[in-house]
Amino acid sequence: MWSAPGEVSRLVLPRIVAEAIEGEARAALPRECCGLLVGTAAGGEASAVRAVPSRNLADDPATRFEIDPALRLAAQREAREAGLLVLGHYHSHPAGPARPSARDLAGALEGGLVWLILGLEGGRASFAAFQARRDRREPSLAPLSLLAAERP
């Protein structure tokens, strides 16, 4: 279903995209927000172009997230038509750090997907990015370097 990017080592996150996600995360408190990251990938670098917010369909949205599968399909189609990729997804940790939780790790089954996590621990926003690796026996999320960028 996903056409995930190949292996990358860096995620470029334009400020305007970061601000949109942070606004969404704060509006969703005390629940997690989630959505899709659409952009490009080349030369080991993924570049976010926009965030596509999803409803959080998880049973317990305060501690987990589940992206609307219909949104995934629609975003995938629209991205392809625009020459872009669904790079992966983002979600927030309403009171925790920008680190994958045990549940996140257990759910990182789709290799190649970029995971962007926004931690709001203590009310301060911090982002961290990872990529699910399919080359391990256990699911794993490899840290990516994160470059904040002004939109060109």
Using CB under 5 A as the binding rule, whether residue 101 contacts Zn ion is answered as yes
Q: How many CB atoms lie within 10 A of CB 33?
A: 26
How far CA 16 is from CA of 22, 104, 105, 134, 149, in Å, comes to 10, 26, 28, 31, 9
Single out the segment in contact with Zn ion by CB under 5 A; choices: 6-14, 41-49, 74-82, 99-107.
99-107
Using CB under 5 A as the binding rule, whether residue 63 contacts Zn ion is answered as no
Q: Under rule CB under 5 A, which residues in 68-97 are in contact with Zn ion? A: none
**Calpha distance 144→105 (Å, rounded):** 15
Q: How far is the CB of 118 from Zn ion (least distance, A)?
A: 10
Q: Both tokens of residue 8?
A: 């990358």
Q: How far is the CB of 80 from Zn ion (least distance, A)?
A: 27
Question: CB-wise, 24 or 104, nearer to Zn ion?
Answer: 104
Residues 6+ apart with CB under 8 A from 74: none
Question: CB-wise, 79 or 146, nearer to Zn ion?
Answer: 146
Using CB under 5 A as the binding rule, whether residue 104 contacts Zn ion is answered as yes
Binding site for Zn ion (CB under 5 A): 101, 104
